[in-house]
Amino acid sequence: MSIYEARARHKQLNAQISLKRREQKRLFFAEKAELLKCAWDGYLPQILTEEFESRYIFNPRTAYPRKSLTGLWRKAQKILLDLKIEPSEWHDQCLQFYD
Mind listing the pLDDT tens digit for each residue in 3-28? Answer: 999 999 999 999 999 999 999 999 99
47 burial (CB, 10 Å; 0-12 / 13-18 / 19+) is: exposed
Is the pLDDT at 93 greater than 80? The verdict is no
Spatial contact of 33 and 78, defined as CB atoms under 8 Å apart: no
Q: What is the mean pLDDT of residues 81-93?
A: 76
Q: Residue 99's pLDDT is what?
A: 63
73 backbone dihedrals φ, ψ, rounded to 5°: -65, -40
Confirm whether pTM is higher than 0.75.
no
CA distance 49 to 41: 8
Report CA-CA distances (Å) from 74 to 17, 37, 78: 30, 9, 6
Question: Helical H runs in the chain?
Answer: 3-43, 46-52, 66-83
